[in-house]
Amino acid sequence: MCGIIGYVGKREALPIVLDGLHRLEYRGYDSAGVAIHSGKGIKTARAVGKVAMLVEACDGKNFGGTAGLGHTRWATHGKPAEKNTHPHTDCTKSFYIAHNGIIENHDELRDELRAKGHTFKSETDSEVIAHLLEEEYRIFGSFEQAAQLTLQKIRGTYGLAMVSSYEPKKIIAARMGAPIVLGLGENENFVASDASPLLSHTRTVLYLQDGEMAVVMPDSYFVTTLDNKVVERGSETIEWDADKMQKGGYAHFTLKEIKEGPEVIENTLRGRLITENGLAKLGGLQSIEAKIRAVKRIIIVACGTALHAARVGEYMLEEYAGIPVEVEFSSEFRYRKPMIDVETLVIAISQSGETADTLEAIREAKRKGATTLGIVNVVGSTIARETDVGIYNHAGPEISVLSTKAYISQLAVLALLTVFLGRQRQLSLSMGKRILEELETLPPKIEKIFEQEQKIRKLAKRYAKYRHMLYLGRKYNFATAYEGALKVKEASYIHAEGCGAGEMKHGFIAMIDKAFPTVAIAPSDSVYDKMLSNIQEIKARGGRVLVIASEGDTRAIKLADDTLTIPKTLEMLSPILAIVPLQLFAYYLTLERKLDPDRPRNLAKSVTVE
Ligand code: AGP
């Protein structure tokens, strides 16, 4: 997610802000910028790429002032480009803002502001904030009041820092759904998106809560609610070091990103549900809605974890959208002779948007006349740019090599796409509504799974001695078996074998003995009884079984040696829940084997070569 740093005090602001941006680089970003009071208005610099390029862009410029802010951007609306880089300003260049989050009603605000004569320079949702400040200031002549009225008009999420040429010794910050923390120093104060850039200056901090706004000066600050009620809350002292800070207090990015699951589903769904009509709103598809309605066949190309998401999407789209779907390894698709025509939709799923095989598969599909659609997390990535249309995950940067939060976001996007396509076809309003309503219940259901974390850690301690494991699943959780096994393989280097449970008797069961345990994904669904039989067959051969069962299960838990449970949900959405305990299980197995889950040997975060 984006990074924000603001400073107001007695020292020159630019070096402090640039150093703060360096300390925010870990968050993942694609561009950076600064806005610094120079004593004669506000000077800015922006750069696409690394902070080092921004430092170069600032070189030689006189930024003299002792207040300003900086931002590292993780693109959500508008590709990485200088015009989209924060801080954004208004028509009069009197206000500069750095924003983290998504403004849901930015389209309507932009229209209203344009009607009042405002001109926009960027493609971002964030820029509307600067123009709203300009508009409100013109009426009230107060920076604080303009900020309060602006915040009352925007819907969505923000962690926000604002400066104005009218008040060179002041920063205003606000929080709604994205963190903002004040750093309190001696005759100097700070604003940031997390405390990591503050630690070299102060450990005395105050975290804003949702719906709060802070006015920060060199030797004082105050906090109010958006309806101007004063908030009295003491500061606190940070004990963490920078590394722990960057991981949100977790030991590894892998665990942090697994724990971000609930928030990721919320962000993936945000602004995309028209529940009362059972419709999914996918703005990126609007331009070719008619063409998509004519689609007769879908091919999904992907690699690794993204391919496992594709396999779940295959079942969703066939069952609820009534469209034939094939899933292809990108690396195979591009070398075989795929049958493609203008009624084929080729979907590429890729977290990074840079996977070479998937990119080449899309290029091959386009050569043959297919319509291409990208489900991508990194905005402005090559696959996002080269597919005809796309759906961004909005999962935020995934730092760990292990793909965890992106996977559940991919599944949620595929569920939205299923509703979108299904409601163009035979899917009823009531079933579309049912799926969307159930999607909204998933974040707290994922949180509930986290309550078993200590039990999972104990199970990992017990299973870490094994060198082999079999993962079994059927139908919607066929792919869960393969994804759960991949997590174990790539992080703990234990040989874990994913297997469709129906295939077990066609060879896999020969491996089972007391040294070869099985993880069976057996929620209460349409293939539950079949899974019970598979568990019994494993037990009859002396194999240990860890079952992932639904809450309230009474049969599987009697057969298995160890049990983890997931809340009940629609069968098509159960993979989103079933993978969560398996991600945690793989993480703790890795720790038991004294390995680093964030950076497994031999692996890269994005396989940009064949
Ligand atoms: C996932 O844990 C792996 N690191 C890997 O399989 C990954 O999913 C695969 O390389 C595809 O990457 P992409 O989603 O960025 O295209």
Q: Read off the tokens for 259.
A: 């724990």
**Nearest-atom index, ligand 1, CA of 487:** 2
Q: Please state, in angstroms and rounded to a whole number, the distance separating the CA atoms of residues 473 and 83.
A: 48
**Alpha carbons 125 and 399: distance in angstroms, whole number:** 24
Strand partners, 472: 499, 520
Enumerate residues 6+ apart whose C-beta is below 8 A from 380. Answer: 30, 75, 79, 80, 81
Q: What is the pLDDT of residue 396?
A: 87
SS3 523: coil
Name the closest-CA residue to atom 5, ligand 1: 304
pLDDT value at residue 380: 76
For the stretch 481-497, pLDDT in tens is 999 999 999 999 999 99
d(CA 183, CA 205): 5
CB-based burial label for 431 (10 Å; 0-12, 13-18, 19+): middle
Q: Which residue has the higher pLDDT, 609 or 322?
A: 322
- Structure-block tokens of residue 241: 């070091």
Centroid of ligand 1 to alpha carbon of 199 (angstroms): 34
Predicted local confidence at residue 194, as pLDDT: 86
Please tell me whether the peptide bond between 197 and the residue prior to it is cis, using omega within 30 degrees of 0. Answer: no
Residue 339 CA to ligand 1 center (angstroms) comes to 26
Burial class (CB in 10 A: 0-12, 13-18, 19+), 419: buried
What domains, with CATH codes, occur in the chain?
3-240 (3.60.20.10), 247-448 (3.40.50.10490), 451-600 (3.40.50.10490)
Average pLDDT over residues 223-242: 88
For residues 304-325, average pLDDT? 98
Give the per-residue pLDDT at 541: 93
For residue 148, give the nearest of 239, 160, 433, 14 by alpha carbon.
160
Instruction: Report CA(335)–ligand 1 centroid distance (Å).
Output: 20
**Known catalytic residues?**
2, 605
Which atom of ligand 1 is found nearest the CA of 486?
A: 2
Q: Which of 307, 355, 483 has most ligand 1 atoms within 8 Å of its beta carbon, as the pocket-test mutant?
A: 355
The Cα–Cα gap between 286 and 163 comes to: 37
Q: Whose CA is nearest to atom 7 of ligand 1?
A: 304
Cα 494 to Cα 497: distance, rounded to the nearest angstrom = 10
- What percentage of the chain exceeds 90 in pLDDT? 83
> Is-contact 136 195, C-beta < 8 A?
no
Average pLDDT over residues 10-22: 95
Residue of 257, 305, 598 to mutate, ligand 1, most atoms within 8 A of C-beta: 305
Give the residue whose CA is nearest to atom 9 of ligand 1. 304
Q: Find the range with the poorest average confidence among 58-67, 81-90, 399-408.
A: 58-67
Q: Which atom of ligand 1 is nearest to the CA of 403?
A: 2
Ligand 1 neighbours by CB, cut-off 6 Å = 303-306, 350-352, 355, 358, 401-403, 490, 603, 606-607
Residue owning the nearest CA to atom 4 of ligand 1: 402
Tell me the three state secondary structure of residue 201: coil
* β-strand partners of 3: 72
Probe ligand 1: pick from 307, 329, 351, 601, max atoms within 8 Å of CB?
Answer: 351
Residue 351 Cα to ligand 1 midpoint, Å, equals 7
User: Given the CA of residue 355, which atom of ligand 1 is nearest to it?
Assistant: 16
pLDDT value at residue 366: 94
Q: How far is the CA of 574 from the centre of ligand 1 (A)?
A: 21
What are 242-283's pLDDT values in tens digits?
Answer: 777 778 889 999 999 999 999 999 999 999 999 999 999 999
Could you write out the three-class secondary structure of 241-299? CHHHHHCCCCCCHHHHHHHCHHHHHHHHHCCCEEHHHCEECCHHHHHHHHHHHCCCEEE
- Ligand 1 pocket mutation pick from 254, 376, 401, 403 by most atoms within 8 angstroms of CB: 403
CA–centroid distance, 350 to ligand 1, in Å, is 7
- What's the gap in Å between 345 CA and the centre of ligand 1? 22
How much is the pLDDT for 36? 96
> pLDDT, tens digit, for every residue of 148-196?
999 999 999 999 999 999 999 999 999 998 889 999 999 999 999 988 8
pLDDT number for residue 9: 97
Give me the sign of the Cα torsion angle 289, 294, 297, 301.
negative
Q: Which helix (H) or strand (E) holds 471?
A: strand 468-473
Reported confidence tier of residue 1, pLDDT bands at 50, 70, 90: low
Per-residue model confidence (pLDDT) at position 581? 98
Structure tokens at 492: 């703990």
Q: For residue 348, list its beta bridge partners.
A: 301, 374
**Is 0.85 topped by the overall pTM?**
no
> Among 432, 375, 385, which residue's Cα sits nearest to residue 409?
375
Determine the Cα–Cα distance for residues 500 and 508; give it in Å rounded to an integer.
Answer: 10
Task: Give yes or no for a contact between 85 and 32, defined as CB atoms under 8 angstroms apart.
Answer: yes
